[in-house]
Amino acid sequence: LRVGYPEVVYGEGKTSEQVTEIATYMQAKGQNVLITRSNDHMYETVVKACPKARYNPLGRTISIVNKAYQETSSKISIIAAGTSDLPVVEEAYETAKIFGNKVEKIIDVGVAGIHRLFNQMDRIREAKVLIVVAGMEGALASVVGGLVDKPIIAVPTSVGYGANLGGVVTLLGMLNSCASGVSVVNIDNGFGAAYNASMINRL
Amino acid sequence: LRVGYPEVVYGEGKTSEQVTEIATYMQAKGQNVLITRSNDHMYETVVKACPKARYNPLGRTISIVNKAYQETSSKISIIAAGTSDLPVVEEAYETAKIFGNKVEKIIDVGVAGIHRLFNQMDRIREAKVLIVVAGMEGALASVVGGLVDKPIIAVPTSVGYGANLGGVVTLLGMLNSCASGVSVVNIDNGFGAAYNASMINRL
Amino acid sequence: LRVGYPEVVYGEGKTSEQVTEIATYMQAKGQNVLITRSNDHMYETVVKACPKARYNPLGRTISIVNKAYQETSSKISIIAAGTSDLPVVEEAYETAKIFGNKVEKIIDVGVAGIHRLFNQMDRIREAKVLIVVAGMEGALASVVGGLVDKPIIAVPTSVGYGANLGGVVTLLGMLNSCASGVSVVNIDNGFGAAYNASMINRL
Amino acid sequence: LRVGYPEVVYGEGKTSEQVTEIATYMQAKGQNVLITRSNDHMYETVVKACPKARYNPLGRTISIVNKAYQETSSKISIIAAGTSDLPVVEEAYETAKIFGNKVEKIIDVGVAGIHRLFNQMDRIREAKVLIVVAGMEGALASVVGGLVDKPIIAVPTSVGYGANLGGVVTLLGMLNSCASGVSVVNIDNGFGAAYNASMINRL
Amino acid sequence: LRVGYPEVVYGEGKTSEQVTEIATYMQAKGQNVLITRSNDHMYETVVKACPKARYNPLGRTISIVNKAYQETSSKISIIAAGTSDLPVVEEAYETAKIFGNKVEKIIDVGVAGIHRLFNQMDRIREAKVLIVVAGMEGALASVVGGLVDKPIIAVPTSVGYGANLGGVVTLLGMLNSCASGVSVVNIDNGFGAAYNASMINRL
Amino acid sequence: LRVGYPEVVYGEGKTSEQVTEIATYMQAKGQNVLITRSNDHMYETVVKACPKARYNPLGRTISIVNKAYQETSSKISIIAAGTSDLPVVEEAYETAKIFGNKVEKIIDVGVAGIHRLFNQMDRIREAKVLIVVAGMEGALASVVGGLVDKPIIAVPTSVGYGANLGGVVTLLGMLNSCASGVSVVNIDNGFGAAYNASMINRL
Amino acid sequence: LRVGYPEVVYGEGKTSEQVTEIATYMQAKGQNVLITRSNDHMYETVVKACPKARYNPLGRTISIVNKAYQETSSKISIIAAGTSDLPVVEEAYETAKIFGNKVEKIIDVGVAGIHRLFNQMDRIREAKVLIVVAGMEGALASVVGGLVDKPIIAVPTSVGYGANLGGVVTLLGMLNSCASGVSVVNIDNGFGAAYNASMINRL
Amino acid sequence: LRVGYPEVVYGEGKTSEQVTEIATYMQAKGQNVLITRSNDHMYETVVKACPKARYNPLGRTISIVNKAYQETSSKISIIAAGTSDLPVVEEAYETAKIFGNKVEKIIDVGVAGIHRLFNQMDRIREAKVLIVVAGMEGALASVVGGLVDKPIIAVPTSVGYGANLGGVVTLLGMLNSCASGVSVVNIDNGFGAAYNASMINRL
Ligand SMILES: Nc1ncnc2c1ncn2[C@@H]1O[C@H](COP(=O)(O)O)[C@@H](O)[C@H]1O
Ligand SMILES: Nc1ncnc2c1ncn2[C@@H]1O[C@H](COP(=O)(O)O)[C@@H](O)[C@H]1O
Ligand SMILES: Nc1ncnc2c1ncn2[C@@H]1O[C@H](COP(=O)(O)O)[C@@H](O)[C@H]1O
Ligand SMILES: Nc1ncnc2c1ncn2[C@@H]1O[C@H](COP(=O)(O)O)[C@@H](O)[C@H]1O
Ligand SMILES: [Mg+2]
Ligand SMILES: [Mg+2]
Ligand SMILES: [Mg+2]
Ligand SMILES: [Mg+2]
Ligand SMILES: [Mg+2]
Ligand SMILES: [Mg+2]
Ligand SMILES: [Mg+2]
Ligand SMILES: [Mg+2]
């Protein structure tokens, strides 16, 4: 449908065989492929048929670049509160990459140690669009939103326990952000955030 | 803070006098002002001090253009399902306008009569960024997201009854959209959607 | 009780032995049997006693046709958004079948790629009653409801993650459908939808 | 769109003038009109322009029959638990009527006094399709579903207090009905139930 | 504390050793013991030290009668909708038994086949107090409450799926029962219901 | 149905005229009447037709004793945490009274000042059955349940704010009570508690 | 009970007369009184009997200092995000004052404009204990918690709309704070926070 | 950052290797370390590199005291309802210990047997600050709050079943406590409660 775009396969609930079949078909057509929510076994099956497949175990993505692409000159920054948010960061990173974006990760800048965030403000301000990944109360989205005049796509993560309700509290907190310029995607949806950011970065 | 931006005042819970004071101060500085969640009485008080004030009763906004601005050449489209979503549409429209955007409204294109949406696809595809406003199950965001390759900011409205839970179901439905490229703001938050869209439209 | 109806056994929480006992008893009486929410082990136990038993592993159903039945001339169509909804589709399909209905599956027509749905409209319009199976935001029920003038039974599925809340958001979204003619059954309840559709198809 | 169908106007959030305008337009075209969620003032405004308008204050409906219609020979029965469910019963009744159905009301047959329901079983069994209206725990839908072999459309009402949560408990209870053959519409949605029932009754 | 009462031990989260220690201590004192939420391993450990221990695997209870007791002449009836409610029925039954009550089980009388309930009304009416165990929408409590003039303790079970929310819908439905005389205990709390019923039966 | 019982009318949502009609009819038959959820206007209308009517404005009940009744010798105690729970206490009190029970109120014994509760333990222990009325976290039910060996019917009230959720937290807290012997009725349901207690008190 | 403490009266749901009676009684005993959740009419009634009564209309408190008290040398700081949180700030302020604390208000330092918070850090660090009042996503508690090594009592406010759920999202967000040292009281509970802070400040 | 404080590592979601690396680094710097949410395997890995590591399997903590500290003279008391709350008690205990506090555990004093609590009141009153750990309905926090004039930090636990909702009911109950002086931390957050209590105890 969308000419030149990589094919994206949502791996959850698909067998390694089903995914490999799609990947092989796309390889034959010379198209790039991104598989999200994959796993070790899926990668091992895919890579046999598609030797260019590259696996990001933390982000649970498989990227297959069959056709070189031109990277954007403008940049997407992915900002994350803590190390437990890394799986979502990596899903977003791999997505942004294979959609042809220059992309940068700035992690461990949660608001409990806000000076670390301030130390990164110059790098953050260079980006054209920001992805903010956070769990718990999701305060990082508000703080970044107050500091930067760029479109921000916030991704709540399911990191937390007790009254966190599997990320629902983080999600609703981000939607209530007192800072303007923040829009939100589903819990743990690094792919969706990066797809969105890519659209904006390419404008 | 942000030089050249209009000042935005959230009218809810403020007295007409408090709002007028801010408006008068900004008028003296030659700055544009947008007041959201206002009401008839607030407008009547403000307009005495700021004769340029213009009231949108449906959107509950007061706009005061003290300084002419250049309109963007690219366009924001605001797409809405039904007539009951109009207050949110108007809040978004006035916000986009005073932030200097070319903006267009396409209403009454809900998915229950999907041909009306298809009739508008050419106009919709001309926009640089889309705002989709819908209540009930919020299906319009998914349908537009599947048809258009533009960033979409979805605004759930509190229109509905019974199991609608004051818009929460619409909100969560939009966050679960099966279409990529959709990000979401708070229920009835036309301002936030337009602020976001304006940032993107001006990139 | 209801003469001529197949006996339906809800397999969840029953042992393979308990289920086989019921199936054997019904076989002796020459009555048809449908077992839902079964599993591989249950099938292997049942088929030893009832060699006519046929297993649908995706739908988790066991069908035992001990007595031939006349198929209806009018048709039930089961329409589904994506491949992950297939288990529910298959449960509905097997139920409709053993209750003697002509039934057709139309899958992978989710609203994110709405042209695929439009390509199937002629087939869809031939049905007497429709079952719409969808997860995520459940928009498919609204879209089909707006296009077709037939009774629609919507089945929300528990497919999704994050703010999907195990299908509750899909369920509530479908109940808020802006299209008339849509009624709803419990999450993943393919059996209930087909039982209902069968009653209507046989009117 | 749907030739010969009455035009349905959802009165909530519309002004009496807006509704009158639609009604007058339809009167000129000789089409029947149903206005739901109306009120006294709306009726008084409408009836001046459309003298055939008839008001049901309990059901909050205005019916305008501009063109005689043929009544079905088969029957819809509307069964209700208590007198507080009557507004929903009346909305369903007026909808079924103007869509050309023979329709009957059987009220005050809640399960707390189950003999009253049993006294009505003969009449209930004559119907082609049933609408069951109930608040509180919604048990009536299950009981009727167990007794009758007809399609049942259950309408939860917002009648109740405390842990009833505005009808949400009734709604979810009905969706969990242990009886087959029950599908559900939104809380207080008498219109939707009758629209559905009418489709089925006319098959 | 309460002289003559059996000691009740809540087995969940305790080791087999901890439970055996308590049981042995009570055996030495000649007191009766009831262990709830136990399991096979716990029973095997306990029975070595306390040979009178009797295990109910369905109800997950261990009963140790070290001291004979006089059974009441009045009766508790435990009424249950379906076979999947049996674990809760058995927990209630064993509790009532060891607290010295005459107790009777009447199962598989759910409202989807209400004639089976009616066939048992004479036995039900003989009881002094009733325990009603049901899952799904919990309608049985209302129906029995409407038919019988006895105190009813309703126990919602976590049996169900989808919008059942782990028994919360059943619980809230029972609390909204339209029949008087029904009070409710926690989901799956057969012990609590029987403890209560025992207090009442012994008045 | 139940010979000799007072007729109970739930006033909410009924007109003063409807209620008066029922009351007059029962007066003619010499039967006692209790009207709950009434109001000043309803009382004034009723008392004109039934001069024996007595109004409890706090409990919102109207009691009409047309036929003298024998009071029980055993006692129901109604125990309440604070003065804001009084409306529910009074509804329970009037219900217990007209059903012929000896009944006593013990108020302002919330757990924040637990010594006041201890001062009343002797009176509390004299009762045959207890009604515990409390809002906020509902701890009183657990404390009384731990101290007294009597059946306890707990009534959560909607008193509280913020995270109280209109009494739902109190309700669920009471259902999780760590003390045995506590069963629960709907939020603010003083009538239901007293009806239950009366059944038990009369055993 | 607690000698020397002011008497605190929760005005909500009490009549002006009831409150005045308590206030007069305490005045006679020379004790200080704080009335929370009061209103204009209540103040006018109280002040006639107790001329020392002072009203804070924003905080809805009435303070009556009948006996001078010694102010603490250590300080409580009340920090608030925005002007709409002021009613809660004032309730906390008046409570802290009449309990004899030195107390300071630092408002309008929400995270959307974080530099204003940093400008106040020196004053904030002087306090012995902090009260942080915020609505929306409640991020301020986390940010302050990360910057200051003092006990923090967070008060969520019901300020917000849409997916804010009346402050529940703020509350749960604060409980999930990624910063240590934050404990939480009920929504809008300025009194409770100050009571707590006072206990700590007086250690 | 905070000089002299032990380093706290949140073990959940970290590998044993990652945690050991941090622990070794801190050992080299002579700093104390607390690892929460650890497990057997993590301890075995850590202790090889840091022989001073001490494991609390119930509390799931690893404490490494590399530098002796001075214990406070004032005391923190940790009060718990039942034995199933012990894991949270132990996490709090180890945290308070390594932060240098004198700390005492008082367990099995739940309100269902309130005399056991009263037997401990003298010890409880000696503490400077209290931590109350409870599951189910959380009534213990209110009762202690009513009896003691000390700051109380309440920790809801996820102990319970059915309508307990994983501790959310306990949490909200504690926030609605009718006793003043109670503030609350997240479900099962023994660490957070002790960190807070330590701050207060050291004032
Ligand atoms: N991690 C993800 N989360 C949400 N949506 C995804 C994710 N990965 C892929 N998708 C969407 O799923 C589509 C592919 O789905 P499928 O055809 O089932 O493989 C893509 O086009 C994306 O829109
Ligand atoms: N009471 C009702 N509840 C739900 N939907 C309704 C109701 N009444 C009318 N509708 C729907 O609303 C549509 C008309 O909406 P509108 O064009 O806004 O007046 C009708 O075609 C129905 O599908
Ligand atoms: N199945 C059950 N559900 C709820 N509470 C129970 C159950 N079994 C026992 N109990 C309660 O738990 C107490 C014993 O708890 P424990 O001292 O922890 O063994 C008993 O006295 C009962 O009050
Ligand atoms: N059990 C716990 N619950 C909540 N927060 C904790 C817990 N243990 C440690 N923390 C916090 O987590 C921080 C360490 O997180 P990390 O850097 O991811 O190891 C500590 O400074 C504490 O603030
Ligand atoms: Mg910003
Ligand atoms: Mg798109
Ligand atoms: Mg349709
Ligand atoms: Mg049926
Ligand atoms: Mg009864
Ligand atoms: Mg007791
Ligand atoms: Mg801190
Ligand atoms: Mg206290």
H167 contacts on A by Cβ (under 8 Å): 162-163
Which backbone phi and psi does C38 adopt, to 5 degrees?
-90, -170
Residue G3: what are its φ and ψ, rounded to 5°?
A: -60, 135
* Strand, helix or coil for residue D30: coil
Instruction: Tell me if there are at least 3 CB pairs under 8 Å linking chains E and G.
Output: no
Q: Is the pLDDT of residue G122 over 80?
A: yes
pLDDT, residue E82, reads 86
Query: Residue E4: what pLDDT?
Result: 67
For the cut 50, the answer to whether the pLDDT of residue C14 exceeds it is yes
Give the pLDDT mean for E6-18: 94
Q: How confident is the model at residue E2 (pLDDT cuts 50, 70, 90)?
A: very low
Percentage of residues of chain C with pLDDT beyond 90: 88
Taking alpha carbons only, the member of C77, C56, C51 closest to residue C11 is C56
Nearest residue of chain H to residue E187 (CA atoms): H162
CB contact under 8 A, A186 and C162: yes
For the stretch F107-118, pLDDT in tens is 999 998 899 999
For the beta carbon of residue E25, count every other beta carbon within 10 angstroms.
12
Residues 6 or more apart whose CB falls under 8 angstroms from that of F144 comprise F79, F117, F124, F130, F132, F152, F179
Pairing type for strands G61-64 and B33-36 reads unpaired
Confidence of residue G1 (pLDDT cuts 50, 70, 90): very low
DSSP class of residue G132 equals: E
pLDDT computed for residue A160 by the predictor: 84
Is residue H58's pLDDT more than 70?
yes
What are the CA-CA distances from residue G25 to residues A121, G45, G60 (Å)?
A: 60, 14, 21
Q: Is A67 exposed, middle or buried (0-12, 13-18, 19+ CB in 10 A)?
A: exposed
CB-ligand 1 contact for A181 (6 Å cutoff): no
pLDDT (average), residues G25-40 = 97
The overall average pLDDT reported for chain C is 94
* Main-chain dihedrals φ then ψ at residue G150, nearest 5 degrees: -125, 155
On whether any CB of chain B is under 8 Å from the CB of D188, the answer is: yes
Identify the nearest ligand to the CA of C182 by its number.
Answer: 7
Average pLDDT, chain A: 94
E104 to each of E69, E89, E194, how far by Cα in Å? 18, 10, 12
Q: Report H helices in chain H.
A: 16-28, 40-49, 86-98, 114-119, 121-126, 139-147, 168-175, 190-201
Phi, psi of G145 (to 5 degrees): -60, -35
Strand order in the sheet with A182-184: A102-106, A75-80, A129-134, A152-156, A182-184, B182-184, B152-156, B129-134, B75-80, B102-106
Q: What distance in Å separates the CA atoms of residue C198 and residue A196, rounded to the nearest whole number?
A: 43
CA distances from H106 to C5, G131, H39 (A): 64, 29, 25
Which ligand sits closest to the CA of E132?
9
Quick one: closest CA in C to B162, which residue? C176
E134 pLDDT above the threshold of 90: yes
User: Tokens standing for E59?
Assistant: 């109800």
d(CA A10, CA A20): 12
**% of chain F surpassing 70 pLDDT:** 98
Phi, psi dihedral angles at E138 (to 5 degrees): 70, 20
In angstroms, the Cα distances linking F39 to A39, A116, D82, F16, F29 are 65, 62, 21, 9, 24
Q: In what order do the strands lie in the sheet with B33-36?
A: B7-10, B33-36, B61-64, B54-56
Measure the CA dihedral E144/E148/E154/E159, to 10°: -20
pLDDT band at C1 (very low <50, low <70, confident <90, very high): very low
**In Å, how far are B139, C181, C183, D135, F192 from B112, measured between CA atoms?**
9, 11, 15, 28, 45
Q: What is the pLDDT of residues E74-101, one digit of tens each?
A: 999 999 998 889 999 999 999 999 999 9
| CA atoms of H85 and H62, how far apart (whole Å) | 19
The closest residue, in CA terms, to atom 9 on ligand 2 is D10
What is the structure's pLDDT at H1? 40
G200: chain H residues, CB-CB within 8 Å: 151, 200, 203
Q: Is the minimum CB–CB distance between B184 and chain A shorter than 8 Å? A: yes
In this predicted structure, the answer to whether residue A3 has a pLDDT above a threshold of 70 is no
Mean pLDDT for the stretch of residues G35-61: 98
Q: Compare E2 and C79 and report the one with higher pLDDT.
A: C79
Give me the total of CB pairs closer than 8 Å, taking one residue from chain C and one from chain E.
Answer: 25
- Maximum distance among all Cα pairs of chain D, rounded to whole angstroms: 50
pLDDT band at A2 (very low <50, low <70, confident <90, very high): very low
Model confidence over D85-133: pLDDT tens digits? 999 999 999 999 999 999 999 999 999 889 999 999 999 999 999 999 9
Closest ligand 1 atom number to CA of residue A11: 19
Beta strands at H33-36 and H61-64: parallel, antiparallel or unpaired: antiparallel
Mean of the pLDDT values across residues E115-139? 95
* pLDDT above 70 as % of chain D: 98
SS3 B104: strand
Quick check: ipTM above 0.85?
A: yes
Q: Measured from the CA of A83, which atom of ligand 4 is nearest?
A: 18
d(CA E91, CA E194): 8
**pLDDT per residue over D161-191, tens digit each?**
888 899 999 999 999 998 889 999 999 999 9
> Which residue has the least CA distance to atom 23 on ligand 3?
F180
Q: Which residues of B touch A149 (CB under 8 A)?
A: 2, 199
Q: Is B178 in the pocket of ligand 1 (CB under 6 A)?
A: no
F1: pLDDT strictly greater than 50: no
Quick: pLDDT tens for F24-36: 999 999 999 999 9
Helical axes E168-175 vs E139-147, angle rounded to 10°: 30
Q: Is F112 helix (H, G, I), strand (E, B) or coil?
A: helix
Report the pLDDT value the prediction gives residue A82, as an integer from 0 to 100: 87
Please give the single-letter amino acid code of residue C146.
Answer: G
pLDDT in tens, D49-67: 999 999 999 999 999 999 9
Q: If you write DSSP's letter for every residue of A133-191 in order, what string do you get?
A: EE-TT-HHHHHHHHH--S-EEEEE-----GGGGGGHHHHHHHHT-SSTTEEE--TT-HH
Q: What is the mean pLDDT of residues B82-111?
A: 96
Residue-level pLDDT at C4: 67
Nearest CA to ligand 1 atom 15: A10
* In the predicted structure, residue E137 carries a pLDDT above the cut 90: no
CA distance E194 to chain C (A): 24
Q: Which chain H residue shows the shortest CA-CA distance from A84?
A: H13
Q: Is the pLDDT of residue H2 over 50?
A: no
E strand segments, H125-169: 129-134, 152-156
CB A66 within 8 A of CB A31: yes
What is the per-residue pLDDT across F179-196, written as a single tens digit (0 to 9) for each? 889 999 999 999 999 999
Q: In 3D, which of D87, D97, D181, D91 has the Cα closest to residue D135?
A: D87
Paired tokens of D77: 């029965």
Angle at G127 between CA G121 and CA G132, to 5 degrees: 70
Which chains would you list as touching C if contact means 3+ CB atom pairs under 8 Å? A, B, D, E
What are the phi and psi torsion angles at A171 (to 5°)?
-55, -50
Distance H39 CA to ligand 3 centre (A): 29
Cα of B183 vs centre of ligand 1, distance in Å, is: 15
Query: pLDDT-based confidence at B4, cuts 50/70/90?
Result: low
Looking at every residue in chain F, the average pLDDT score rounds to 94
pLDDT band at residue B1 under the 50/70/90 scheme: very low
Chain H residues whose CB is inside 8 A of the F173 CB are 137-139, 169-170, 172-173
Smallest Cα distance from C66 to chain D, Å? 23
Q: pLDDT at position G112, please? A: 87
What share of chain A in percent tops pLDDT 90? 88
| Cβ-proximal residues to E40 (8 Å cutoff; 6+ apart), any chain | E55, E57
Whether A130 is in the pocket of ligand 1, judged by its Cβ within 6 Å, is: no
Checking if the pLDDT of C173 tops 80, the result is yes
Are residues G172 and A179, on separate chains, in Cβ contact within 8 Å?
no
pLDDT in the model for residue C2: 47
Name the CA radius of gyration of chain B, rounded: 17
Interface of F with E in 154-183 (CB under 8 A): 171, 175-176, 180-183
- Say if the Cβ atoms of E173 and D138 lie within 8 Å: yes
> A touches C (3+ CB pairs < 8 Å)?
yes
| Residues H16-28 pLDDT 10s | 999 999 999 999 9
Q: Is the pLDDT of residue G2 over 80?
A: no
Of the candidates F142, F125, F155, the residue with the CA atom closest to the CA atom of residue F181 = F142
From residue D46, alpha-carbon distances to B146, D12, D55, D71, G107 in Å are 41, 15, 10, 26, 53
Closest listed ligand to the CA of E178: 9
Name the residue with the closest Cα to ligand 2, atom 2.
Answer: D191
pLDDT grade, residue F100 (50/70/90)?
very high
